[in-house]
Structure 1
Amino acid sequence: MRRTTIALLAALEASVSTLIGYGVALVPLMLLWAIAFGLAAPIDVFFRVAGDLWLLGHGVDVTVRLDAVTAATVGLPGADEAFTVTLPLLGFAVLTFAFALRIGRRATQGGNPVVGAAAAVVTVGILGGVMGALAATEAAVPSPWQSAVLPALVMAAGTLVGIARAFARLGWATDATTSVVRGWVDRLPRVAVDGVRTAVRVGVGAAFGVIAVAALLVVVRIVLDHATIVGLYQTLGAGVDGDATITMVQLALVPNLVMWAAAWILGPGFALGAGTTVSPAVTLIGPVPGLPLLGALPPGGAPLGVLWLALPVLLGFAGAIAVAASVPVHEEAPWWTTLVVGLGSGVVAGALLGVFAAWSGGAAGPGRLAEVGPDALLVAASAAASVGVGALAGVFAARARARNAMVDAPREPWVEDPSPVA
């Protein structure tokens, strides 16, 4: 497929992903405009708010200035002054990332992954910058440079992952840029390439294993506390339109909640305001934002307590055993290369979960709400240590088993060559 065609298709799909994300934010706001305001309020305000929500979902900081009446209703210190909301609604970023995976895969199948990825990233960057400029009002001002950069970074990350997955499944592409990268990789020692690949696979697998368990934990908590959540909806009395808007915001926050649950599993937990903590050891919270979904928070210390900390260790161990079994054993590789692979697995898992933790938290409002989410450094350190310990044990166990199998394997008997000597 021609490069121009791939670039146009990637740009079109990136534009569609942006419009879909924007539409998800806009639809409940249109219901609010039609039902609560009787079509009387200026409609452009709701279009701008939808833009703010989409940008906020990609990590863009939004500076908010509340009017005197609203600030008095909020009742938080600092609400009467300008404050910055940095808590992202990660559901929008997940949607963009999902489209980016598809763009990266399709561009790779077309033979020009770099061209497709570049077109998609530039398109989202332009659309984000335009949306940031159009959404700015006296009440809410998105960061101009972040509006152009951060959504594009989400698209870039997704396309790169999509390209990597396509390479793993279909082999390297043949375009010039990919050929140069492949040449660099081919010149590296095979031991180093296999070690890096193993560390990345184990670290990424363990990190997403923790996230998968966290997602299951969130679902279980919602099912167990559904009566509390429904009661909070009824207490708010927001009506059909208001409930739709609140539900949209909560659905966009589900990835945040999953990452907070992962931080809870790892030990550091998360905060819902200054001076609060929710962890397996202790739960100490005060008044929380009025979102019904927060009714699923654990009321106290967790069952099994710190035994949850064993989960990432087990994931690291199991991942190392499974991945190392598919990697050839290099007889010339010294023991310390196995040590580096185990430690590297922990570093990869810690870096990945630390970045996700940092992205999932931020300021949700003024005053005490300026601290919401997990401590990224603590999450990264905890994940690196626990996954690293399990991965170390796993890779050394796999190494020992592989070498024993090589020693114990039956060898072909030596047979004398019957051919006559000339």
Structure 2
Amino acid sequence: MRRTTIALLAALEASVTALVGFGAAFVPLVLLWAVHFGMAVEFTVFLRAAADVWLIGHGVDLTVQLDPITAARVAVPGAGDPFPVTIALLGFALVSVTSGMRIGRRSAAGGHSFSGGIAAILVFGLAGFALALVSATDAARADPWQGALLPASVMALGVVIGAVGESLREASATDAATGLVRRALTILPPAVVAGARGAVRVGAGTAFGVLALAGVLVAVLIAIDYATIAGLYQTLGAGIDGGLALTVAELALLPNVVVWAASWLLGPGFAIGSGSLVSSSGTLLGPVPGFPLLGALPTDAPALGALWLVVPVLLSFVGAWLVSSDPVVSRDGDRAPWWAPLAGGLGSAAVAAFVLGLLAWWSGGAAGPGRLAEVGPEPWLVAGVAAATVGLGAIVGGYAAYARSARSSRPGDPADGGRFTYRDDEPEPAYRDDEPEPAHREFIWGADRRRDVE
């Protein structure tokens, strides 16, 4: 496919993604304007509000200044002063990253991943810059340059993941970016590449395993406390239109809640306001906003408590056990060095700490004035605990696999189970000039003979 066609298709898909995200915030607000306010309020207020929600969903900070009447109704200390809103509604970012991965895969498969990725990133950056300029008012204002860079960075993250994954998966891909990735991999020693690949698989797999379990816990808590959540809906008296807007906001916040639940599993927990803490060792809450989804917050210490820390240890142990194959063995009995499982475990710890710490940082921030200036987990604590638990499990699992392979006999021994591995840097066995090379050579352990199968 031609470079221009791929770039145009990528730009078109990025534009549709931006419109879908903006529409998800705009449609409920339009219903509020038409039904709840009877079209009495200026329409541009809701248009700007939808733009602000889209920007917040991609990590753009918003500076809010409430009017004196609204600040008095809120009755929160500091509500009359300008305050930042820095918490990202990760539901919008998740949609953009998913679209970026699809764009990256399609562009790499077409042979022009660089052109397609740049087109999509530029479109998203321009959309964020335009929305930041259009939505700027005295009541709420976003930095236009931040509005351009952060949405573009979210799209770039998805594009890079999709393009690199497609480049490594498809051996026939021949575009420039794919060639650059493969040349970089060939420069590094094979052992380093294999170790890094294993560390990424174990660390990222454990991190997403913890997030998956956290998602299950969130679903269970929502099902158990459904009556409390429904009661909060009724107490707010939002009606059908307001309930729809609340539901969209909760869906956008749901990925944040899953990350908070993962932090709860790891032990550091998360805060809903200054001085509060929700963790697996106990819960300390002050006044909580009447957001219906917060009705699922645990109020007591769980039965297992700190034993939830076993989860990342077990996941990383199993991952290291499965990923750590038998060490490469040559005919002279060379084996992988003793420190290989240690290096793999430390690499897995670093990957898991990066993934979970970054998500913890991205999922929290300031959500309002006063106590709401601190919402979410502490990123450094989450990263530290993730590194310790995942590293412990990965190192033990790696050495367990190493010890298992060490108990195996040398290649060529009948007890070796018929498995023979040549090192990649050693030549294949030579044949005589007058002997045709067999199509397949089968070694039979336990018998002093060799059979060639044509």
User: Which has the larger displacement, 239-248 or 23-32?
Assistant: 239-248
TM-score (norm 2): 0.89
Distance (whole Å) between structure 1 residues aligned to residue 450 and residue 237 of structure 2: 91
Q: Which amino acid aligns with 1:320?
A: A
Distance (whole Å) between structure 2 residues aligned to residue 69 and residue 226 of structure 1: 34
State the partner residue of 1:143.
Answer: 143
Query: 2:347 is matched with which residue: 335, 344, 347?
Result: 344
Distance 1:416 1:159, change over 3 A: closer
Cα RMSD for the two superposed structures: 1.7
SS at match of 2:365: coil
Structure 2: any 5+ residue segments left out of the alignment? 419-444
Distance (whole Å) between structure 2 residues aligned to residue 400 and residue 9 of structure 1: 52
Q: Which runs of 4 or more aligned residues in structure 1 lie more than 6 Å from their structure 2 counterparts after TM superposition?
A: none
Following TM superposition, by how much is the alpha carbon of 1:175 offset from its aligned partner in structure 2, in angstroms?
A: 1.4
Residue 90 of structure 2 is aligned to residue 90 of structure 1: yes
Distance (whole Å) between structure 1 residues aligned to residue 326 and residue 115 of structure 2: 33
Residue 119 of structure 2 is aligned to residue 119 of structure 1: yes
Aligned residues of 1:194 and 1:327 also touching (Cα < 8 A): no
State the partner residue of 1:153.
Answer: 153
The structure with the larger Rg is 2
Query: 1:379 is matched with which residue: 369, 379, 382?
Result: 382
State the partner residue of 1:38.
Answer: 38
Q: Which amino acid aligns with 1:260?
A: W
Following TM superposition, by how much is the alpha carbon of 1:414 offset from its aligned partner in structure 2, in angstroms?
A: 4.7
State the partner residue of 1:289.
Answer: 289
Following TM superposition, by how much is the alpha carbon of 1:96 offset from its aligned partner in structure 2, in angstroms?
A: 0.6
Question: Equivalent residues in 2 for 1:182-261 (5 A)?
Answer: 182-261=182-261
Residue 319 of structure 2 is aligned to residue 316 of structure 1: no
State the partner residue of 1:399.
Answer: 402
Following TM superposition, by how much is the alpha carbon of 1:324 offset from its aligned partner in structure 2, in angstroms?
A: 1.8
Following TM superposition, by how much is the alpha carbon of 1:416 offset from its aligned partner in structure 2, in angstroms?
A: 9.6
1 or 2 for the larger relative contact order (CA 8 Å, sep ≥6)?
1
State the partner residue of 1:420.
Answer: none
SS at match of 1:335: coil
Distance (whole Å) between structure 2 residues aligned to residue 389 and residue 213 of structure 1: 20
User: Which has the larger displacement, 27-36 or 396-405?
Assistant: 396-405
Following TM superposition, by how much is the alpha carbon of 1:329 offset from its aligned partner in structure 2, in angstroms?
A: 6.4
Distance 1:32 1:406, change over 3 A: farther
CA deviations 1:364-400 (Å, max 9, x no partner) are 0011110000000000000010011001011111222
Following TM superposition, by how much is the alpha carbon of 1:412 offset from its aligned partner in structure 2, in angstroms?
A: 6.3
Aligned residues of 1:87 and 1:360 also touching (Cα < 8 A): yes
Residue 329 of structure 2 is aligned to residue 355 of structure 1: no
CA deviations 1:70-110 (Å, max 9, x no partner) are 10111111110101000111110011111111111111211
Distance (whole Å) between structure 2 residues aligned to residue 416 and residue 14 of structure 1: 60
Q: Which has the higher helix share?
A: 1
Distance (whole Å) between structure 1 residues aligned to residue 224 and residue 372 of structure 2: 27
Q: Which amino acid aligns with 1:232?
A: L
Following TM superposition, by how much is the alpha carbon of 1:64 offset from its aligned partner in structure 2, in angstroms?
A: 0.2
Distance 1:327 1:373, change over 3 A: farther
CA deviations 1:90-132 (Å, max 9, x no partner) are 1100111111111111112111222211111111011111111
State the partner residue of 1:335.
Answer: 338
Distance (whole Å) between structure 2 residues aligned to residue 398 and residue 126 of structure 1: 51
CA deviations 1:326-375 (Å, max 9, x no partner) are 88568453111221111110110011100000000000001111000000
Aligned residues of 2:205 and 2:319 also touching (Cα < 8 A): yes
Q: Which amino acid aligns with 2:144?
A: P
Structure 1: any 5+ residue segments left out of the alignment? 418-422
Distance (whole Å) between structure 2 residues aligned to residue 245 and residue 42 of structure 1: 18
